[in-house]
Amino acid sequence: MRLGLIGATGHWHSYAAALDRVPGLVLAAVAPAGPEETVGSFDHAPGLSADTRRFEDAEELLDTALLDVVQVAARCDRIPGWTLRCLERGLPVLAEKPLAMDLPTLERLIREAERTGAALVPMHTMRAVPELAAVRRAVRAGAIGEPLLSFSQKSYKWGASRPDWYRSRETFPGLAPWAGIHAFDWLYWILGDVFTEVSGREGASAHPDFPACASQAGFVFTMSNGGVSSVTLDYLRPEGAGSHGDERLRVAGTRGVVELSLAEGRLTLTTATDGPRPVPVRPQLDLFTRLLRSLRGEGPPPIEPIEAGRITEIALKAQQAAETGRAISLEDSPFRRA
Amino acid sequence: MRLGLIGATGHWHSYAAALDRVPGLVLAAVAPAGPEETVGSFDHAPGLSADTRRFEDAEELLDTALLDVVQVAARCDRIPGWTLRCLERGLPVLAEKPLAMDLPTLERLIREAERTGAALVPMHTMRAVPELAAVRRAVRAGAIGEPLLSFSQKSYKWGASRPDWYRSRETFPGLAPWAGIHAFDWLYWILGDVFTEVSGREGASAHPDFPACASQAGFVFTMSNGGVSSVTLDYLRPEGAGSHGDERLRVAGTRGVVELSLAEGRLTLTTATDGPRPVPVRPQLDLFTRLLRSLRGEGPPPIEPIEAGRITEIALKAQQAAETGRAISLEDSPFRRA
């Protein structure tokens, strides 16, 4: 299988694990996603060989490199354009998130994926985190009864510097579709498409020179069963902390509570009859390998385009809620299964 | 000092610690707060003696028992009435929370306390929790820089049964002014009067036969510095859990994060230079003892009436937000210091 790489931004190494796991996968071609990147960015790309073609222009890569699959790992404002060009050619795409920075563009992408049948998988890479998958299995198996309350936390270090494109809404979609989308994805993945409304607030107080990227945000989602899901996002994790991120999830239901602290490696289930006990954890396959296997007919794609659309829609509407101070309905969606 | 007790509901034993700590304090008189209680409820009241007078009618207690201070521990709908009658007589009161179930009544109480100069201290008993006081000291000492994000959790077991007065808004003020007010109090106490707006959602899904008492709720507060405070409340703690409550607090600022899990006894501070380390904890005096000492001129009252009004206002407005689905402003308040 011939992989093309557009962009060397963010988690662009995502495909690396698949090189070992998928026989015959080769890095066929690379190209920068825009003038902020260079072909030189790919000098140490995993899987780079003498046969890897280097293009200055990603359009030329798509037209001439005879690809089977493309990974788009670009600055946020360039993701939808390159993703659309792949889909128009019927090429399956693994794309950075968010897929789009506005809802009309998002809808156009999803419709194009549906029209051409090309796989479209956003990098919701946390689905490969074994502990999150274990929470999902426990909840889906009914271990906590009906889920009624959840709290999700994503906290990160800001670090010594950030690229300039975090400064402006032209190039940065906001904290919710950026860091938050992973939490919205795990909520959707674990609890289902149950969210009916979102309220939120944010502020960029810690880094006012990066006004497009909030340093703190809080959200409340309503659920169709009367439940409530709460989310906090921040870039306030101190440099002295032991890990870059501090992600947590607690889901409480009518018959139990499951709780995860990823940074601490704590994952417990408490029920009516049992105090906190560990939840069994199993290794998970990375998203890209699952995509490639699905392309070979060895299983379904890890995420369907309509799901990808829904998760991105939730993230964009959460951002809208935080920016406008208004509760935004999640009921009317172009991305709900019939 | 002669203490009168009106009501034998909820945390009515609150005064007990003061009996040991305040020389000369005697339980002079007791009376039920309404027909749902009986004089017999006081048979095992701490400090009960042959000299303790038992009244069927609390009005008579107030008129004849020659009291120095009164504790009102009644069903929520009876708290404001008895509290007001104490204040009208210039009697200092320690009262269950919330002080009132609506804002006009609340304002009337606070004005009466100010007019007569009588102390009015709501049972924000968690201020005596050493770990919470330690969080406050750390934040106020600047250990985390400017606080920008907080998350507060209060989770409780529902238990085998609840009194009928949890069922109706006539007798039960809602989850926010009931369990939530402790968290709103600790936020106010630790962060100051910085809250400008509240949004929230709730549902009674787990106990639909108690529609006045939500089983789950989530709130987002905005702060005047652009910060965000998130709160979840629930009655979903499983019976198998090791404690009745699971209270947590995390405050993240520009220079550090302080985190508390009361049920687990974990309290840590993480900063730019140091990984998680313990925060020193000191014993705290209970609220009632502090009230009595202030009445003897040995220090200020633990909570001023205007603060009590503000905290209760925040709780009542949070409940309004959850019930109406609207963001409620906290800017115009009759309970802000000039």
Query: Which of A82, A97, A123 is a domain's end point?
Result: A123
> Are residues A278 and A196 part of one domain?
yes
> Are residues B40 and B180 part of one domain?
no
pLDDT tens profile A34-79: 999 999 999 999 999 999 999 999 999 999 999 999 999 999 999 9
> Chain B contact for A217, CB < 8 A?
yes
Residues 180-209 (B) with a CB less than 8 A from some CB of A: 197, 199-206
The Cα–Cα gap between B336 and B327 comes to 20
Of B202, B220, B325, Cβ closest to residue A200: B220
What DSSP state is assigned to residue A176? I
What DSSP state is assigned to residue A128? G
pLDDT band at residue B338 under the 50/70/90 scheme: low
Q: What are phi and psi of B283, to 5 degrees?
A: -60, 145
Tokens of A267: 């994952």
pLDDT tens profile A264-286: 999 999 999 999 999 999 999 99
Q: In chain A, what is the straight-line distance between the N-terminal and C-terminal CA atoms, in Å?
A: 34
> How many residue pairs from chains A and B have C-beta atoms closer than 8 A?
179
* Residue B132 pLDDT exceeds 80: yes
Whichever domain contains A46, its CATH number is 3.40.50.720
Q: Is residue A289 part of a domain?
A: no
* Residue B336 pLDDT exceeds 90: no
Q: What is the side-by-side order of every strand in the sheet holding A147-156?
A: A277-278, A266-271, A256-261, A245-253, A147-156, A228-234, A216-223, A195-203, A328-329
* Residue A338 pLDDT exceeds 70: no
Compare all CA atoms of chain B with the CA of A230 and give the residue at the minimum distance: B218
> Are residues A179 and A111 part of one domain?
no
Note whether A240 contacts B200, CB cutoff 8 Å: no
Which run of H or E residues covers position A171? none
Q: Is residue A226 part of a domain?
A: yes
Cβ neighbours of B240 in A, within 8 Å: 256, 270-275
| pLDDT in the model for residue B26 | 98
Tokens 């994060």 identify what position? B257
**Which of B139, B191, B201, B209 to mutate: most A Cβ within 10 Å?**
B201
The answer to which of A92-106, A324-338, B107-121 has the lowest mean pLDDT is A324-338
Note whether B273 contacts A205, CB cutoff 8 Å: no
Query: A275: closest CA among B230, B154, B290, B157?
Result: B157
Q: Is residue A93 part of a domain?
A: yes
> Chain A contact for B257, CB < 8 A?
yes
Cβ neighbours of A200 in B, within 8 Å: 220
> Chain A contact for B325, CB < 8 A?
yes
Q: Is residue A338 part of a domain?
A: no
Query: Which of B75, B92, B123 is a domain's end point?
Result: B123
Cβ neighbours of B327 in A, within 8 Å: 199, 325-327
> Chain B contact for A329, CB < 8 A?
no
Of B205, B226, B231, Cβ closest to residue A205: B226
Compare all CA atoms of chain A with the CA of B243 and give the residue at the minimum distance: A275
> Chain B contact for A151, CB < 8 A?
yes
The pLDDT mean for chain A works out to 97
pLDDT band at residue B6 under the 50/70/90 scheme: very high
Query: Which of B89, B123, B157 is a domain's end point?
Result: B123
CA of A335, closest CA in chain B: separation in Å? 24
Q: Is residue B296 part of a domain?
A: no
Note whether A216 contacts B149, CB cutoff 8 Å: yes
Cβ neighbours of B239 in A, within 8 Å: 272-273
What does the H/E/C string look like for chain B? Answer: CEEEEECCCCCHHHHHHHHHHCCCCEEEEEECCCCCCCHHHHCCCCCCCCCCEECCCHHHHHHHCCCCEEEECCCHHHHHHHHHHHHHCCCCEEECCCCCCCHHHHHHHHHHHHHHCCCEEECCHHHHCHHHHHHHHHHHCCCCCCEEEEEEEEEECCCCCCCHHHCCCCCCCCHHHHHHHHHHHHHHHHHCCCEEEEEEEEECCCCCCCCCCCCEEEEEEEECCCCEEEEEEECCCCCCCCCCEEEEEEEEECCEEEEEECCCCEEEEEECCCCCEECCCCCCCCHHHHHHHHHCCCCCCCCCHHHHHHHHHHHHHHHHHHHHCCCEECCCCCCCCC
Q: Decide: residue A115, CB within 10 A, 0-12 exposed, 13-18 middle, 19+ buried.
A: exposed
pLDDT band at residue A336 under the 50/70/90 scheme: confident
Q: What are phi and psi of A159, to 5 degrees?
A: 85, 180
Percent of chain A with pLDDT over 90: 98
Cβ neighbours of B253 in A, within 8 Å: 236
Rg over alpha carbons for chain B, rounded to the nearest Å, is: 20
Percent of chain B with pLDDT over 90: 98
pLDDT tens profile B231-257: 999 999 999 999 999 999 999 999 999
* Residue B91 pLDDT exceeds 80: yes
The Cα–Cα gap between A17 and A285 comes to 9
Q: Is residue B110 part of a domain?
A: yes
Q: Is residue A296 part of a domain?
A: no
Tokens of A99: 């897929």
> Chain A contact for B256, CB < 8 A?
yes
CA of B147, closest CA in chain A: separation in Å? 10
Of B148, B202, B237, Cβ closest to residue A228: B202
Residues 6+ apart with CB under 8 A from A240: B256, B270, B271, B272, B273, B274, B275
pLDDT band at residue A337 under the 50/70/90 scheme: confident
Residues 6+ apart with CB under 8 A from A220: A198, A199, A200, A228, A229, A230, A231, B199, B200, B201, B218, B219, B220, B230
Of B199, B220, B240, Cβ closest to residue A270: B240
Question: Is the Cβ–Cβ distance between B155 and B197 less than 8 Å?
Answer: no
Q: Answer positive or negative: Cα dihedral of B103, B108, B113, B115.
A: positive
> Are residues B175 and B142 part of one domain?
yes
pLDDT tens profile A11-29: 899 999 999 999 999 999 9
* Residue A97 pLDDT exceeds 80: yes
Cβ neighbours of A205 in B, within 8 Å: 146, 148, 225-227, 254
> Are residues B145 and B110 part of one domain?
no
CA of A232, closest CA in chain B: separation in Å? 7
Cβ neighbours of A222 in B, within 8 Å: 201, 203
> Are residues A181 and A113 part of one domain?
no
Residues 6+ apart with CB under 8 A from A40: none
Buried b (16+ CB within 10 A) or exposed e, B226-255: bbbbbbbbbbbbbbbbeeeebbbbbbbbbb
Q: Is residue B245 part of a domain?
A: yes
> Are residues B117 and B135 part of one domain?
no
> Chain A contact for B74, CB < 8 A?
no
Whichever domain contains B133, its CATH number is 3.30.360.10
> Are residues A249 and A196 part of one domain?
yes
Note whether B227 contacts A203, CB cutoff 8 Å: yes
| pLDDT in the model for residue B337 | 74
Of B148, B234, B242, Cβ closest to residue A149: B234
Which structural domain, as residue segments, surrounds residue B55?
A: 2-123
> Are residues B76 and B38 part of one domain?
yes
For B140-167, what is the mean pLDDT? 97
CA of B227, closest CA in chain A: separation in Å? 6
For A157-186, what is the mean pLDDT? 97
For A192-221, what is the mean pLDDT? 98
Note whether A270 contacts B238, CB cutoff 8 Å: yes
> Are residues B118 and B152 part of one domain?
no
Could you tell me which residues are beta bridge partners of residue B229?
A: B150, B221
Count of domains for chain A = 2
> Are residues B70 and B37 part of one domain?
yes
Cβ neighbours of B230 in A, within 8 Å: 218, 220, 230-232
Cβ neighbours of B149 in A, within 8 Å: 216, 218, 232, 234, 236
> Are residues B245 and B139 part of one domain?
yes
